[in-house]
Structure 1
């Protein structure tokens, strides 16, 4: 009889202690972490429930490093994915471990601006410091191959936009996304273009869009400049646009377009060649493509910078020469090529 009483007491004590331990564990893994603001936590390659417990404990996010092992036992199907994660004050350890399993790591963003070259895009990515760079020293041919482009030159193939990425993503993956968006946008707008334009393909329209993008940052001017260039093409006139010459000069351009530069034999020198240059000269956004495909009717064949970021348009060479004398020979003190953006 005494043995039976002792046995029941041991069982009762064991059950009680187990219940207390279970209650403690439940409380500790479901209690919000003791932080007042969002914190970043990195799951590295090779991390396990044990190592994550140690790191979370060292950061003061959990009281005991063994708690992550408890969660791992409860959810053996959860596998932590490499990445940086945002841990928020309202989260508990179950939430944190589920987050690591989800792979929903922190997104970063980068804005690739209109009018910038592919080289500029790569330098912007490098400046972020958390993108894996593989193309900085690559030739145009190598970029075409690695990104999987169906053209011979990468310029103009990447849509200017804001892109989200995870830390460690490659420049190739971001450019692939930008190219997919460019292809989709260009094809969609090509279907809605004005009739009887002088382009043989969407690629030629993209070349024109890049020139328009470099010529003006004023939205209402883009369709006008588009029509000026289209009219010149239709009349067999040279485009005579400085940005193409500057692009062709590359590193030889030092900030001022000289007479020698205008005599350069580059295929981008539209003061010497007829028609469009062989490739786009920059990457563009939707507005420049829309302008190239939907010009605004005007009789103007010329335009010149006024020094305030806008342009004076002229129908005849005589009018244009007068505008050049007015705006270029006597430049205003605050002369600028881009408009002031109101804040």
Structure 2
């Protein structure tokens, strides 16, 4: 007797296997279709915010026309065990990328650099730094100066600043090259620059032979004067040595740079300027001014912390920015005549 039931069972098994194979094949074809690039088109900037899940990222990529299916993107990343490696940022993505290439771009963190690069030269005052930021389009000079008054900073070096100093952070925003996001708040900029100072200068101060005689604030003040007086790199420690010699002999520093600080806008000095009534006028007052007159760079700070051992008491600038150093006032007068030839 023929086994019709057995034959039917085999038929159904073959049919079932065919259907399963067909489904798997179609699924594979569909997934390959989803994996393939959408095609040619303009690049799109896609911003992935911190904390976004893989599904949220997938939906965003789909809505921006970068991948065919956000769900397929999420599945692809999860199957590879790389969900936790997706990185936030702004990406420049093309529809011509495959789903795998899009995933690799985000996993590798190949973000575009939309930050603004700003170089702060040595020797700028705080208003000068604020004006530079304004020209870069980050924020106004006024907003920067306001942030200086309101910002809270956790750094111990600020304890050496005496009360009542004009612009208490003058001298403490380190000149360097920084990169800021275009929407950065001025307070954050102040924190970053002050943190850079904290990273570099206090360790140098701790190893300075003058750290037991002067406060950090006093030495930063000296560094700012050296910064404004010196042009030639090799002369910075010598100029610092001259000023310390004058301090130790109870002589006025007589630094033209301190007068320029009072004037605000650089111009040739008049004899009347030397009579300006201010503790920053080192032609009238003994000792250092109350605080820095600029934000010095590392070379001037190093010179103030480790000045040259010299007997010079005077110097005068020549036309090329170098200086003639003298031991006596008579030699200094002769040097002035020489420099003016």
| TM-score interval, smaller chain | 0.7 to 0.9
Residue number among 68, 71, 74 corresponding to 2:73 in the alignment: 71
Aligned residue for 2:306?
A: 294
Aligned residue for 1:280?
A: 292
Residue pair 1:156, 1:280 contacting (<8 A) in 2 also? yes
User: For residues 42 and 325 of structure 1, do their structure 2 counterparts lie closer, same or farther at Cα, with a shift above 3 Å needed?
Assistant: farther
1:223 aligns with 2:233: no
SS at structure 1 position matched to 2:151? helix
Aligned residue for 2:335?
A: 323
Query: How many pairs align?
Result: 309
1:8 deviation in Å?
4.2
Residue pair 1:158, 1:175 contacting (<8 A) in 2 also? yes
Residue number among 246, 249, 266 corresponding to 1:232 in the alignment: 246
Q: Matched residues in 2 for 1:138 and 1:163: separation?
A: 16
Q: Matched residues in 2 for 1:179 and 1:85: separation?
A: 31
1:105 deviation in Å?
6.2
Q: Matched residues in 1 for 2:337 and 2:68: separation?
A: 80
User: For residues 85 and 28 of structure 1, do their structure 2 counterparts lie closer, same or farther at Cα, with a shift above 3 Å needed?
Assistant: closer
Residue pair 2:48, 2:89 contacting (<8 A) in 1 also? yes
Residue pair 1:227, 1:296 contacting (<8 A) in 2 also? yes
User: For residues 108 and 221 of structure 1, do their structure 2 counterparts lie closer, same or farther at Cα, with a shift above 3 Å needed?
Assistant: same
**1:79-118, Cα deviation, whole Å (9 max, x unpaired):** 9876434669998111233356x98965553222111112
User: For residues 143 and 18 of structure 1, do their structure 2 counterparts lie closer, same or farther at Cα, with a shift above 3 Å needed?
Assistant: same
Residue number among 262, 271, 274 corresponding to 2:274 in the alignment: 262
1:126 deviation in Å?
3.1
Aligned residue for 1:200?
A: 214
In angstroms, what is the RMSD of aligned CA positions? Answer: 3.5
**1:28-56, Cα deviation, whole Å (9 max, x unpaired):** 49xxx989xxx88351779854343343x
Larger-Rg structure? 2
User: For residues 293 and 67 of structure 1, do their structure 2 counterparts lie closer, same or farther at Cα, with a shift above 3 Å needed?
Assistant: same
Aligned residue for 1:341?
A: none
Q: Which moved more, 1:42-51 or 1:149-158?
A: 42-51
Aligned residue for 2:175?
A: 160
Residue number among 137, 140, 143 corresponding to 2:143 in the alignment: 137
SS at structure 2 position matched to 1:137? helix
User: For residues 42 and 240 of structure 1, do their structure 2 counterparts lie closer, same or farther at Cα, with a shift above 3 Å needed?
Assistant: farther
Q: Matched residues in 2 for 1:143 and 1:93: separation?
A: 43
1:298 deviation in Å?
1.8
1:305 deviation in Å?
0.9
Q: Which moved more, 1:106-115 or 1:288-297?
A: 106-115
Residue number among 177, 182, 189 corresponding to 1:174 in the alignment: 189
Residue pair 1:226, 1:291 contacting (<8 A) in 2 also? yes
SS at structure 1 position matched to 2:179? strand
User: For residues 3 and 44 of structure 1, do their structure 2 counterparts lie closer, same or farther at Cα, with a shift above 3 Å needed?
Assistant: closer
Residue number among 127, 131, 136 corresponding to 1:119 in the alignment: 127
User: For residues 70 and 134 of structure 1, do their structure 2 counterparts lie closer, same or farther at Cα, with a shift above 3 Å needed?
Assistant: farther
Aligned residue for 1:15?
A: 24
Q: Matched residues in 1 for 2:260 and 2:145: separation?
A: 20
Name the TM-score, length of structure 1 as normaliser: 0.76
